[in-house]
Protein backbone atom coordinates (compact mmCIF):
# COMPACT_ATOMS: atom_id res chain seq x y z
CA UNK A 1 0.00 0.00 0.00
CA UNK A 2 1.40 3.41 -0.97
CA UNK A 3 1.84 6.32 1.40
CA UNK A 4 -1.23 8.08 -0.05
CA UNK A 5 -3.32 4.89 -0.02
CA UNK A 6 -2.43 4.29 3.60
CA UNK A 7 -3.34 7.88 4.38
CA UNK A 8 -6.79 7.56 2.82
CA UNK A 9 -7.48 4.30 4.68
CA UNK A 10 -6.48 5.78 8.03
CA UNK A 11 -9.70 7.34 9.31
CA UNK A 12 -8.12 8.55 12.55
CA UNK A 13 -5.58 10.74 10.74
CA UNK A 14 -7.67 11.54 7.67
CA UNK A 15 -7.96 15.15 6.53
CA UNK A 16 -10.17 15.90 3.53
CA UNK A 17 -8.37 16.43 0.20
CA UNK A 18 -5.25 18.57 0.10
CA UNK A 19 -4.64 22.25 0.69
CA UNK A 20 -5.26 24.29 -2.46
CA UNK A 21 -4.35 27.93 -3.10
CA UNK A 22 -7.45 30.10 -3.01
CA UNK A 23 -9.47 27.53 -1.05
CA UNK A 24 -10.32 27.27 2.68
CA UNK A 25 -7.82 25.33 4.78
CA UNK A 26 -9.10 22.41 6.83
CA UNK A 27 -8.64 23.23 10.56
CA UNK A 28 -5.73 21.53 12.28
CA UNK A 29 -4.13 21.38 15.73
CA UNK A 30 -0.50 20.53 16.53
CA UNK A 31 1.53 20.24 19.72
CA UNK A 32 4.22 22.90 20.05
CA UNK A 33 7.29 24.00 21.92
CA UNK A 34 7.13 27.74 22.62
CA UNK A 35 10.73 29.07 22.88
CA UNK A 36 9.59 32.45 24.17
CA UNK A 37 7.62 31.00 27.08
CA UNK A 38 9.74 27.88 27.47
CA UNK A 39 6.84 25.45 27.68
CA UNK A 40 4.85 22.97 25.63
CA UNK A 41 1.42 23.81 24.26
CA UNK A 42 -0.56 23.54 21.05
CA UNK A 43 -1.43 25.64 18.05
CA UNK A 44 -4.90 25.63 16.55
CA UNK A 45 -5.70 27.15 13.17
CA UNK A 46 -9.25 27.78 14.35
CA UNK A 47 -8.00 29.79 17.35
CA UNK A 48 -5.65 31.84 15.17
CA UNK A 49 -8.49 32.68 12.78
CA UNK A 50 -10.77 33.58 15.70
CA UNK A 51 -8.07 36.10 16.65
CA UNK A 52 -8.07 37.45 13.04
CA UNK A 53 -4.46 36.45 12.51
CA UNK A 54 -2.58 35.54 9.39
CA UNK A 55 -0.87 32.15 9.73
CA UNK A 56 2.53 31.36 8.22
CA UNK A 57 3.51 27.68 8.26
CA UNK A 58 7.17 26.91 7.59
CA UNK A 59 7.79 23.17 7.14
CA UNK A 60 11.37 21.87 7.29
CA UNK A 61 12.82 18.32 7.14
CA UNK A 62 14.22 17.70 10.62
CA UNK A 63 15.79 19.00 13.80
CA UNK A 64 19.55 18.59 14.27
CA UNK A 65 20.25 18.91 10.55
CA UNK A 66 22.28 21.42 8.56
CA UNK A 67 20.35 23.72 6.20
CA UNK A 68 17.34 23.80 8.56
CA UNK A 69 18.88 25.90 11.37
CA UNK A 70 20.05 28.49 8.83
CA UNK A 71 16.48 28.80 7.55
CA UNK A 72 14.97 29.06 11.02
CA UNK A 73 17.54 31.68 12.03
CA UNK A 74 16.73 33.67 8.87
CA UNK A 75 13.03 33.42 9.71
CA UNK A 76 13.75 34.58 13.26
CA UNK A 77 15.34 37.75 11.85
CA UNK A 78 12.02 38.58 10.14
CA UNK A 79 9.74 37.44 12.95
CA UNK A 80 9.26 40.90 14.49
CA UNK A 81 8.22 42.38 11.12
CA UNK A 82 5.82 39.50 10.49
CA UNK A 83 4.28 39.90 13.94
CA UNK A 84 3.55 43.56 13.14
CA UNK A 85 1.36 42.26 10.32
CA UNK A 86 -0.62 40.10 12.80
CA UNK A 87 1.14 36.94 11.66
CA UNK A 88 1.32 33.78 13.73
CA UNK A 89 4.56 32.23 12.52
CA UNK A 90 4.87 28.47 13.07
CA UNK A 91 7.77 26.23 12.09
CA UNK A 92 6.81 22.59 11.54
CA UNK A 93 8.65 19.28 11.20
CA UNK A 94 7.80 15.65 11.85
CA UNK A 95 9.98 15.70 14.97
CA UNK A 96 8.43 15.68 18.46
CA UNK A 97 8.02 18.72 20.68
CA UNK A 98 10.73 17.26 22.91
CA UNK A 99 13.19 17.20 20.02
CA UNK A 100 12.29 20.81 19.22
CA UNK A 101 13.09 21.84 22.79
CA UNK A 102 16.42 19.98 22.83
CA UNK A 103 17.46 21.42 19.45
CA UNK A 104 16.46 24.97 20.37
CA UNK A 105 18.49 24.68 23.58
CA UNK A 106 21.65 23.27 21.96
CA UNK A 107 21.90 24.99 18.55
CA UNK A 108 23.30 28.53 18.79
CA UNK A 109 21.84 29.47 15.40
CA UNK A 110 18.39 29.17 17.00
CA UNK A 111 19.06 31.46 19.94
CA UNK A 112 16.81 34.22 18.52
CA UNK A 113 13.91 31.91 17.57
CA UNK A 114 10.76 33.04 19.39
CA UNK A 115 8.02 31.66 17.15
CA UNK A 116 6.27 28.41 18.03
CA UNK A 117 7.84 25.15 16.86
CA UNK A 118 5.10 22.65 15.96
CA UNK A 119 5.34 18.86 15.98
CA UNK A 120 3.71 16.75 13.25
CA UNK A 121 5.11 13.26 14.05
CA UNK A 122 2.36 11.38 12.17
CA UNK A 123 2.81 13.58 9.09
CA UNK A 124 -0.90 14.35 9.06
CA UNK A 125 -0.56 18.09 8.50
CA UNK A 126 2.44 17.70 6.17
CA UNK A 127 0.42 15.30 4.01
CA UNK A 128 -2.46 17.75 3.83
CA UNK A 129 -0.12 20.51 2.60
CA UNK A 130 1.56 18.16 0.11
CA UNK A 131 5.05 18.26 1.64
CA UNK A 132 5.24 14.83 3.29
CA UNK A 133 7.91 12.52 1.86
CA UNK A 134 6.74 8.99 2.67
CA UNK A 135 10.12 7.52 1.73
CA UNK A 136 11.86 9.38 4.53
CA UNK A 137 9.06 10.36 6.91
CA UNK A 138 10.25 13.98 6.61
CA UNK A 139 8.68 17.17 5.32
CA UNK A 140 9.98 19.08 2.32
CA UNK A 141 10.72 22.78 2.68
CA UNK A 142 7.21 24.20 2.34
CA UNK A 143 6.02 27.70 3.21
CA UNK A 144 2.30 28.46 3.32
CA UNK A 145 0.38 31.67 4.05
CA UNK A 146 -3.21 31.46 5.32
CA UNK A 147 -5.24 34.68 5.50
CA UNK A 148 -7.52 35.63 8.43
CA UNK A 149 -10.52 34.21 6.54
CA UNK A 150 -8.84 30.81 6.44
CA UNK A 151 -7.94 30.83 2.72
CA UNK A 152 -4.58 29.56 1.52
CA UNK A 153 -3.10 32.49 -0.42
CA UNK A 154 0.51 31.38 -0.97
CA UNK A 155 2.35 28.08 -1.37
CA UNK A 156 6.07 27.44 -1.90
CA UNK A 157 7.79 24.03 -1.83
CA UNK A 158 11.52 23.38 -2.17
CA UNK A 159 13.46 20.11 -2.14
CA UNK A 160 15.75 19.27 0.78
CA UNK A 161 18.89 20.85 -0.63
CA UNK A 162 17.67 24.42 -1.30
CA UNK A 163 17.09 26.81 1.60
CA UNK A 164 14.57 29.63 1.48
CA UNK A 165 14.88 33.40 1.83
CA UNK A 166 12.77 35.05 4.54
CA UNK A 167 13.06 38.40 2.70
CA UNK A 168 10.73 37.01 0.04
CA UNK A 169 8.33 35.68 2.68
CA UNK A 170 8.15 39.17 4.21
CA UNK A 171 7.56 40.71 0.76
CA UNK A 172 4.75 38.26 -0.01
CA UNK A 173 3.16 38.93 3.37
CA UNK A 174 3.32 42.70 2.83
CA UNK A 175 1.68 42.28 -0.59
CA UNK A 176 -1.05 40.00 0.75
CA UNK A 177 -1.82 42.35 3.64
CA UNK A 178 -2.03 45.30 1.24
CA UNK A 179 -4.30 43.42 -1.17
CA UNK A 180 -6.64 42.37 1.61
CA UNK A 181 -7.49 46.07 2.05
CA UNK A 182 -7.28 46.85 -1.70
CA UNK A 183 -8.93 43.84 -3.40
CA UNK A 184 -9.40 45.61 -6.75
CA UNK A 185 -5.63 46.01 -7.19
CA UNK A 186 -2.80 43.61 -8.02
CA UNK A 187 0.88 43.65 -7.03
CA UNK A 188 3.44 43.28 -9.85
CA UNK A 189 6.79 41.50 -9.62
CA UNK A 190 9.10 42.65 -6.80
CA UNK A 191 6.33 44.84 -5.33
CA UNK A 192 7.12 46.40 -1.96
CA UNK A 193 5.06 48.80 0.20
CA UNK A 194 4.89 52.21 -1.45
CA UNK A 195 5.46 50.81 -4.95
CA UNK A 196 2.95 51.19 -7.78
CA UNK A 197 0.21 48.57 -8.06
CA UNK A 198 -1.92 47.54 -11.02
CA UNK A 199 -5.69 47.89 -11.34
CA UNK A 200 -6.91 45.30 -13.85
CA UNK A 201 -9.31 46.72 -16.44
CA UNK A 202 -9.91 46.87 -20.17
CA UNK A 203 -7.50 49.83 -20.40
CA UNK A 204 -4.68 47.79 -18.87
CA UNK A 205 -4.81 44.99 -21.47
CA UNK A 206 -1.60 45.25 -23.52
CA UNK A 207 -0.65 48.49 -21.73
CA UNK A 208 1.01 47.31 -18.53
CA UNK A 209 4.33 48.97 -19.45
CA UNK A 210 2.85 52.44 -19.84
CA UNK A 211 0.81 51.94 -16.68
CA UNK A 212 3.94 51.14 -14.68
CA UNK A 213 5.82 54.25 -15.83
CA UNK A 214 2.96 56.76 -15.52
User: What is residue 17's predicted lDDT score, i.e. its pLDDT?
Assistant: 85
| pLDDT tier at 116, thresholds 50, 70, 90 | very high
User: What is residue 198's predicted lDDT score, i.e. its pLDDT?
Assistant: 82
Greater confidence, 15 or 79? 79
| pLDDT tier at 49, thresholds 50, 70, 90 | very high
- For residues 150 and 170, the answer to whether their CB atoms sit within 8 Å is no
User: What is residue 207's predicted lDDT score, i.e. its pLDDT?
Assistant: 54
Alpha-carbon Rg for the chain, nearest whole angstrom, is 18
On the question of pLDDT at 11 being above 60, the answer is no
On the question of pLDDT at 212 being above 70, the answer is no
Instruction: In whole angstroms, give the CA distance from residue 69 to residue 109.
Output: 6
Domains and CATH numbers, the chain: 3-165 (3.40.30.10)
User: What is residue 13's predicted lDDT score, i.e. its pLDDT?
Assistant: 44
Of the chain, the percentage scoring pLDDT greater than 90 comes to: 83
Instruction: In whole angstroms, give the CA distance from residue 60 to residue 142.
Output: 7
Q: Which of 142, 124, 129 is nearest to 7 (CA)?
A: 124
pTM for the full model?
0.90
Residues with a catalytic annotation lie at 68
Average pLDDT over the chain, rounded to whole? 90
Amino acid sequence: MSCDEHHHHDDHHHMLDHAKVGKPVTPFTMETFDPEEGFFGEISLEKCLDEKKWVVLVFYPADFTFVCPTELADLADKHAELKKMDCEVISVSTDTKFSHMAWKTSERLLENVKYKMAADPTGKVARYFGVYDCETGLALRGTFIINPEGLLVSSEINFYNVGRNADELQRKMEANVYLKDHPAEACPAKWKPGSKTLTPSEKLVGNVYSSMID
